[in-house]
Amino acid sequence: MKKTYKKTPIISRCASDLFLPLACVFGCYVVLHGSTSPGGGFQGGVLVASAILLVYLGYGGMGVKHSFNEHMLHSSETVAEIMYVVIALVGVFTGLNFCVNFVFAGQQVDTSILMNDAVGYHVMAGITCLLIMMLSVLEPDDHPHEVDDKEEAAA
């Protein structure tokens, strides 16, 4: 496995190692702080999801394949959607309105902080799935020689 990674230049690998945690932490900060400052679930989620591009730049398509499970990401995207709806519905079942602030009643922060987290999680998983799809198109053909051989045989 190490061999495949060594194909990519060391500078981009080091840069990727350096910036990957920063991108993740900054994205999570934007998500968690979304209810009181500019930004929010969507923007933070996209920031976290962009980390996959750093992985791709540093370690190539193989690195992305080994470090992400697309199926799990897809499921967690759905879980985030369900979480959002359930958080909103709790308001109804505590005898209040849909989307109502039930946790921090009477305080400055509202339930949108929890919904923000769900949105952030959803966007992170969803955009990562999309990026994996796009990157898989970019990946070079695994067996280029076989195709050539077949074409020659056909000719």
Partner 1 sequence: MYDFMYNFPVLAIMSLFLGAFLNSLVGRRNAKVRSAVVVLAMLAALVMMLSLVKPVLLDGKIINYWLGNWEPVEGWAIGISLEVDALSLFFALIVVVAVFVSGIYSFTYMSHDDSLVNYYTLFLMLSGSVLGLVLSGDLFNMFVMIEIMTFTAVALTAFRNHYEGALEGAFKYLVVGSLGSTSVLIGIALIYSQTHTLNLAQLSAVLPQADNPVTMLAFAFLFVGFGSKAFLFPFHPLAADAHAVAPASISLMISGVLTKCGVYGIIRLCYCLFQNMDQSFVQYFVTGVGVISMFVCVTMAFNQHNFKRLLAFHSISQVGYVITVVGLGSALGLSAGLFHAMNHTIFKGLLFLTAGAVQHATGSLDLDELGGLSKKMPGTCALFLIGAASISGLPPFNGFASKWMIYQATFQQAGETGNFFFVVVCVAALITSVLTLASFIKVSQSVFFGQLNPKFANTHEVSLGMRIPMWILAALCILPGLFPDKVQQWLLTPATQAAMNAPGYIDAAMGSGYAASFAIPAYQPQQIFLSGAWQPVMWLLLLISVTLAVCIVALLGGDEKATVTSEISSETDADPKYDSFFSGEASVYSQVGGSDLFWGFKHNWRHYFSFMHNWHSGVVNDYTLYGAAAIAVALVLCVIFL
Task: State yes or no: residue 105 binds partner 1 (CB under 8 A).
Answer: no
Taking alpha carbons only, the member of 46, 47, 8, 50 closest to residue 26 is: 47
Enumerate residues 6+ apart whose C-beta is below 8 A from 147: 141
Total binding residues for partner 1 by CB under 8 A? 18
Give me the least distance between CB of 138 and partner 1, in Å please. 23
Task: State yes or no: residue 85 binds partner 1 (CB under 8 A).
Answer: yes
Contact stretch for partner 1 (CB under 8 A) within 9-17, 53-61, 93-101, 145-153: 93-101
Site string for partner 1, 54-83 (x = CB under 8 A): ---------------------x--xx-xx-
For the chain, what is the radius of gyration of the CA atoms? 21
- The answer to whether residues 34 and 25 touch, using CB atoms and an 8 Å cutoff, is no
Q: Which helix (H) or strand (E) holds 134?
A: helix 112-138
Among 72, 92, 133, 134, binds partner 1 (CB under 8 A): 92
- The answer to whether residues 73 and 125 touch, using CB atoms and an 8 Å cutoff, is yes
Beta-sheet strands, E only, within 9-58: none
Give me the least distance between CB of 38 and partner 1, in Å please. 19
Give me the least distance between CB of 149 and partner 1, in Å please. 31
Residues that bind partner 1 (CB under 8 A): 75, 78-79, 81-82, 85, 88-89, 91-92, 96-101, 110-111
